[in-house]
Structure 1
Amino acid sequence: MLPSPQARFAANPHVSGAGGGHDLNLHQFARAGVTLLGHLTGASDGRLGMAPDLHESLAKSDQLEARVLGLIDSYIARNGLAAPEERRVGLRDGYDQSIITELDVQEAGITTVIWAAGYNFDFSLVKLPVTDADGFPLQQRGVTAYSGLYFVGMPWLHTQKSGLLLGVGDDAAFIAGHIAGG
């Protein structure tokens, strides 16, 4: 169902199931006073460097949101579902933020850094031929051809939710069952 094998590496949209579900839009964060930045390029001597790509990231997020909403609307129309029409407010607050390419951690009052995004897969630690040409593990629902080597928690490992907290438990349970049965 993905347009290409490389699509497995794309990020998931910002969504939440909290309180019945709601959007987590980057522009809402900007509106609430959160400083949005480009991706981290480095850290040295108490300074963080960021790429000047904030607006590109916001544009990608906006495009993804429009594409997902279009898919939902198409599904509703195709299946003749009775659903209230939703009017989306086009938020643009993030584009009003200044592009920051360097921060002094102490001056900015940063006391904690949570490293949670912007990573790439690196399986160089595994000295076996376990990845395809794109660097994605060769596996079936996390089970590799090598006894005792498994993968979990990766996007599209088995389903779209495999890389999310919502779905990693299903994949982990399957792997645990495989280990226990084998």
Structure 2
Amino acid sequence: MTSTAKQTLNPAADSKYQTILQQDDATQQAWLAEANALLAPLSASERVRWALQHLPLNPMLSSSFGIQAAVMLHLVTQQQPDIPVVLTDTGYLFPETYQFIDTLTEQLKLNLKVYSSPLSPAWQEARFGKLWQTAEGIKQYNQLNKVEPMQRALKELNVGTWFTGF
């Protein structure tokens, strides 16, 4: 970490980061400006370290395990090897994606947590048809297979800080 960052990062200041979402918009905007200025000169690894030290407890990392996922997984697990890594499994991933998940889980020793809909893909199709094929259906598909499982993960893991790529 740079000497400037070492001087600026103060663990005693953690409480202001822990409660930022409870503040008004102006306070949040000021916090974001301060955080951006503080983090701008840091490397990606230093930014992850800062977040783990200063943001709310119980961090998690979510991943779709796309081709570029290994970068974020590596960056974060280098700082906190046991961080929960959440995958929302729709049941419709390509076989190669599942193989990639297995490979990365083994190589990076990931603490993988898989969440999926309580209804299997076959059961969903039996009840609702192929939801992803219509504009109206895609909302229900996303709710069943992505939103609800992720909300459950956040709640069950009592997540305070969420690392994700986009």
Q: TM-score range by the shorter chain?
A: under 0.3
Bigger relative contact order, structure 1 or 2, given CA contacts below 8 A and separation 6+? 2
Higher Rg of the two aligned structures: 1
TM-score normalised per structure 1: 0.21
TM-score normalised per structure 2: 0.22
